[in-house]
Amino acid sequence: MTTAEQVLDSPLGLQGNAPAHHAPRQKTPQTVALRPPAPTGIWPTGLLAAAAWVALGLLTLLWPNKEVGFNDWAFTREFGIATLVVAALLFAISLLGHRAGKLARTLRPAGQWLVALAVVLALWEIGTAKLGVLPSPFFAPPQSLIDVVHEDWQRLGLSTAYSLRLLANGFVLGALIGFVTGVSIGWSRIAGYWVHPLLRFLGPVPASALLPLAFFFAPSSYSAAVFLVGLATFFPVAVLTWSGVASVHKSYYDVARTLGASERFLVLRVAIPAALPQVFVGLFMGLGASFSVLITAEMMGVKAGLGWYLQWAQGWAAYANMYAALFVMAALCSGLITLLFKVRDRVLSWQKGTVKW
Read off the pLDDT of residues 295-346 as tens digits, 9 standing for 90 and up. Answer: 888 877 677 888 889 888 888 888 889 999 999 999 998 999 999 999 998 8
Average pLDDT over residues 60-65: 92
Do 70 and 317 contact (CB within 8 A), yes or no?
A: no
**Angstrom distance (rounded) from CA 281 to CA 287:** 10
The CA distances from residue 204 to 5, 8, 321, in Å, are: 40, 39, 34
Q: What would the pLDDT profile of 161-190 be if each residue is shown by its tens digit?
A: 999 999 999 999 999 999 999 999 988 888
Residue 69 region by backbone torsions, left for phi larger than 0, else alpha for psi between -120 and 50, else beta = left
Helix (H, G, I), strand (E, B) or coil at 137: coil
pTM of the model: 0.76
DSSP letter, residue 351: G
Instruction: Kindly report which listed range (125-129, 243-247, 257-261) carries the lowest average pLDDT score.
Output: 257-261
Q: What would the pLDDT profile of 208-232 be if each residue is shown by its tens digit?
A: 788 778 877 888 888 888 898 999 9
All residues at 6 or more sequence positions from 65 whose CB lies less than 8 Å from its CB, including other chains: 72, 73, 76, 129, 130, 141
CATH architecture type of domain 147-351: Orthogonal Bundle (1.10)
Average pLDDT over residues 252-273: 84
**Angstrom distance (rounded) from CA 317 to CA 310:** 10
Average pLDDT over residues 118-136: 91
Q: What is the pLDDT of residue 163?
A: 92
For the chain, how many residues are written?
357
Q: What is the pLDDT of residue 59?
A: 94
* Domain ranges (residues) in the chain: 44-141, 147-351
